[in-house]
Amino acid sequence: MRERMLAGEEFRFDGSFAADVVRCRELLRRINDATPVRDDERDGWLRELLGSFGEGSNIRPPFRCELGFQTYLGKRVFANFGLVCLDTAPVTIGDDTQLGPGVQLLTPHHPLEPVRRRERWESAEPITIGRNVWLGGAVVVCPGVTIGDDTVVGAGSVVVRDLPARVLAVGNPARVVRSVVD
């Protein structure tokens, strides 16, 4: 099932994920329990957990993710308290992006059909967030979404479709309300 997930196919969590889940949970425990004087160690654990953790990046605890190794942070990314990243598909966050408190990046889909949902089948689509993006507090980004460079998403918005570069989007579902210019 793990290989199916990595291939972008429908899957169910089973024993093939056991080592990944244990590794992720143990590293998250260390990351989230680290005292401020252990920030260098915490950053080392984030580099170990994530697919990449760019120079100068900072994730404030608590932080939660599904697997870790499919999350890629560029340089100087800042994630405020309470980031949730369900990374059963790749999550890519570009350089200089800022995430407000309580942001959720959700790659999984669950079937609408009751029998398949009860059998715990799921699939996932990647999330890609460009460079210098700002996601306000409690923004939810849904599976398969790409957000363009320099875009701002207002607090509490739910992003269900791609957003172009250099726009302000707000609401549920998030809608572009204007361009962002220097």
Residue 50 · residue 56 · CB < 8 Å: no
Amino acid type, 129: I
* Backbone torsions φ then ψ of 39, nearest 5 degrees: -60, -40
* Backbone torsions φ then ψ of 155, nearest 5 degrees: -50, 140
Residue 172: per-residue pLDDT: 98
109 is catalytic: no
Q: Which of 4, 25, 29, 110 is catalytic?
A: 110
- Give the pair of three-digit tokens for residue 160: 């269900």
Closest CA to 164 of 182, 147, 181, 140: 147
d(CA 71, CA 122): 19
pLDDT one digit per residue (tens) for the chain, 182 residues = 999 999 999 999 999 999 999 999 999 999 999 999 999 999 999 999 999 999 999 999 999 999 999 999 999 999 999 999 999 999 999 999 999 999 999 999 999 999 999 999 999 999 999 999 999 999 999 999 999 999 999 999 999 999 999 999 999 999 999 999 88
Strands 175-179 and 167-170: antiparallel
* Backbone torsions φ then ψ of 124, nearest 5 degrees: -150, 155
Closest CA to 150 of 135, 140, 161: 135
Residue 182: per-residue pLDDT: 84
